[in-house]
Amino acid sequence: MAAGAKKSCKTCGKSVRDHGHLCAPLKAKDETCNWCGSLIMDARHMCDAKLKRLSYICNSCGRLALAPQYLCRPRKIKKV
């Protein structure tokens, strides 16, 4: 399948791209974190910089993410 081609998540059925989303993230070989620069050993890598920027929660499973496309049923987190 070509890079960027749409696929379906095997867990929730949502349409996802190459890196999947938090239901079933896919890790690229030797990928490094754009936030902290460390080698990503786990596809669910969350460095301190990412944790501070989490903005969405999934209404289905409760997972947190930086962007809505990584969740099944995203909802914006209200910052107080």
Give dist(CA 25, CA 18) in Å, integer: 9
Which two structure tokens, joined as six digits, stand for 50? 């990412």
Condensed to tens digits (0 to 9), the pLDDT of residues 16-67 reads 766 666 666 666 667 788 778 888 777 677 778 878 888 998 888 888 888 8
Label residue 70 exposed, middle or buried (CB < 10 Å: 0-12, 13-18, 19+): buried
pTM of the model: 0.50
Look-up: residue for tokens 């409760």?
62
Q: Give me the pLDDT at residue 74, please.
A: 92
- What does 45-70 look like in DSSP terms, one character per residue? ---HHHHHH--EEETTT--EESSGGG
